[in-house]
């Protein structure tokens, strides 16, 4: 079976865009408390009637690790496993889902210690999909820090998280483009959901330097998360990736 048919690739890209959102709310909300669960596992979807086998490689933090409420529990049906099931049906093939992920990892950790350090997994000749996600923990840590502030509000931590996200998302795409197996057909980045949006409709404990008043947390956090997501999808457009919209 050929994976070169344009119409089929378009269907795969559309399917992958829809895969993660149902899983994201639980997984990303859990990241704030998850810092030691690493999932370096392989799971194969064995489809009847075919001996063709392709590989999907997923790099990331708790969304792809499958964090499941504690550091001793991992969800089988993390996003990469669901990806593999969709692909198995679309390609009529066995799909090996390889997870190289770490709950609690910030973007630099995912980039350096997963994507770069474990590049060999995406270089296998059976690899057809490489997908990654990052930055959720950068945002969550910056949000937690801002919420704990008193006195004059300092926005620099959140702005640093946005800029760090941009840096490592672009670097990750460049590295995958340069190092993944040449036969890879689909490359995906999953953007961010906003866990705790409703709870953030409250005022800060710190005061804005210009107004002397507290600020609404939603109005501070949402624009910065939107910037992260914008650059994920814009870099995806520039660098040949599909952007999976978890935000919506």
pLDDT along the chain (248 residues), means of 10: 46 47 36 57 90 96 78 71 91 95 93 97 97 95 96 97 98 98 97 89 97 97 96 97 80
At 74 the pLDDT is 67
At 111 the pLDDT is 98
Residue 151 DSSP SS3: strand
Sequence-distant contacts of 225-230: CB under 8 A, at least 24 apart: 225/139, 225/192, 225/194, 227/162, 228/135, 228/139, 228/161, 228/162, 228/165, 228/166, 228/191, 228/192, 229/191, 229/192
At 19 the pLDDT is 44
Task: Tell me phi and psi for residue 160, to 5 degrees.
Answer: -65, -40
At 24 the pLDDT is 36
At 238 the pLDDT is 98
Helix (H) or strand (E) holding 50: none
- Nearest CA among 135, 73, 67, 54 for reference residue 101: 67
At 248 the pLDDT is 53
H and E: helices and strands count for the chain: 8, 8
At 69 the pLDDT is 67
Which value, to the nearest 10 degrees, does the dihedral of the CA atoms of residues 36, 242, 43, 116 take? -50
Task: Tell me phi and psi for residue 85, to 5 degrees.
Answer: -65, -40
Q: Domains in the chain, ordered, with CATH?
A: 6-244 (3.40.50)
Residue 26 DSSP SS3: helix
């Amino acid at each position: 079976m050929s994976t070169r048919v344009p119409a089929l690739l378009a269907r795969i890209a559309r399917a992958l865009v829809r895969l993660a959102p149902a899983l994201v709310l639980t997984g990303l909300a859990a990241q704030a408390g998850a810092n030691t669960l690493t999932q370096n596992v392989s799971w194969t979807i064995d489809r009847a009637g075919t001996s063709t086998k392709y590989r999907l490689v997923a790099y990331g933090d708790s969304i792809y690790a499958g964090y499941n409420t504690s550091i001793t529990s991992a969800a089988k049906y993390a996003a990469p496993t669901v990806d593999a099931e969709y692909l198995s049906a679309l390609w009529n093939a066995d799909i090996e889902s390889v997870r190289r992920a770490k709950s609690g990892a910030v973007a630099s950790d995912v980039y350096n210690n997963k994507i770069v350090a474990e590049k060999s997994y995406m270089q296998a000749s059976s690899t057809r999909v490489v997908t990654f996600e990052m930055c959720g923990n950068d945002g969550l840590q910056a949000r937690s820090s801002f919420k704990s502030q008193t006195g004059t509000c300092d926005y620099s931590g959140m702005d640093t998280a946005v800029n760090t996200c941009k840096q490592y998302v672009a670097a990750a795409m460049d590295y995958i483009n340069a190092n993944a197996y040449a036969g890879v057909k689909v490359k995906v980045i999953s953007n961010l959901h906003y866990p705790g949006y409703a709870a953030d409709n409250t005022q800060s404990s710190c005061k804005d330097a210009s107004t002397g008043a507290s600020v609404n947390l939603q109005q501070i956090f949402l624009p910065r998360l939107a910037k992260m997501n914008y650059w994920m999808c814009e870099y995806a457009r520039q660098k040949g990736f599909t952007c999976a919209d978890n935000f919506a």
